[in-house]
């Protein structure tokens, strides 16, 4: 291409600076904002306030279940409570108890006994708050 035709061709076809110069700044800005938000959300939501794991459950009698579970809390300055349920073979709730987790430590291993109104086959942690 001849150098004296370059301004003419740019005016005729609307070409301007190389295309890379137009998208680099928005892409970097999006990378910084989006990447920062992604890192923050992954860190924030991967560490919940209360984390529970069921260790085991057992049928004590036709009117009682036992649940052994582990609780890990982030905030040691306040107490927490967990709702524990016992279910029958059709997944109906036949017993429920609220277990109070005292303030003061991060990790707890708890064993609770759930009174039931019918024969239960499983126990689980409904939720903690």
* Distance in angstroms (rounded) separating the CA atoms of residues 120 and 112: 15
- Residue 101, strand partner residues: 80
- Domain identity same for 89 and 122: yes
Query: At 56, is the pLDDT very low, low, confident or very high (cuts 50, 70, 90)?
Result: very high
Total domain count, the chain: 2
Give the domain extent around 94.
50-128
The model carries a pTM of 0.69
Give the model's pLDDT for residue 22: 77
CA distances from residue 71 to 68, 99, 118, 125 in whole angstroms, order as listed: 10, 11, 27, 10
Q: Per-residue pLDDT for 127 more than 80?
A: yes
Question: pLDDT tens digits, residue range 80-120?
Answer: 999 999 999 999 999 999 999 999 889 999 999 999 999 99
Tell me, yes or no, whether 58 and 82 share the same domain. Answer: yes
Q: Residue 124's pLDDT band (boundaries 50, 70, 90)?
A: very high
Identify whether residues 100 and 69 lie together within a single domain.
Answer: yes
- Tell me, yes or no, whether 55 and 23 share the same domain: no
**CATH at residue 85:** 2.60.40
């Amino acid at each position: 291409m001849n150098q004296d035709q370059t301004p003419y061709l740019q005016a005729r076809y609307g070409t301007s600076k190389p295309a890379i110069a137009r998208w680099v700044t928005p892409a970097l800005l999006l990378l910084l904002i989006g990447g920062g938000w992604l890192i923050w959300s992954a860190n924030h939501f991967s560490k919940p306030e209360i984390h529970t794991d069921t260790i085991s459950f057992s049928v004590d009698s036709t009117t009682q279940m036992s649940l052994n579970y582990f609780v890990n809390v982030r905030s040691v300055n306040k107490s927490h409570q967990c709702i524990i349920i016992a279910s029958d073979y059709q997944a109906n709730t036949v017993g429920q108890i609220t277990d109070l987790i005292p303030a003061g430590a991060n990790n707890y291993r708890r064993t609770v006994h759930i009174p039931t109104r019918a024969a239960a086959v499983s126990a689980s942690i409904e939720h903690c708050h």
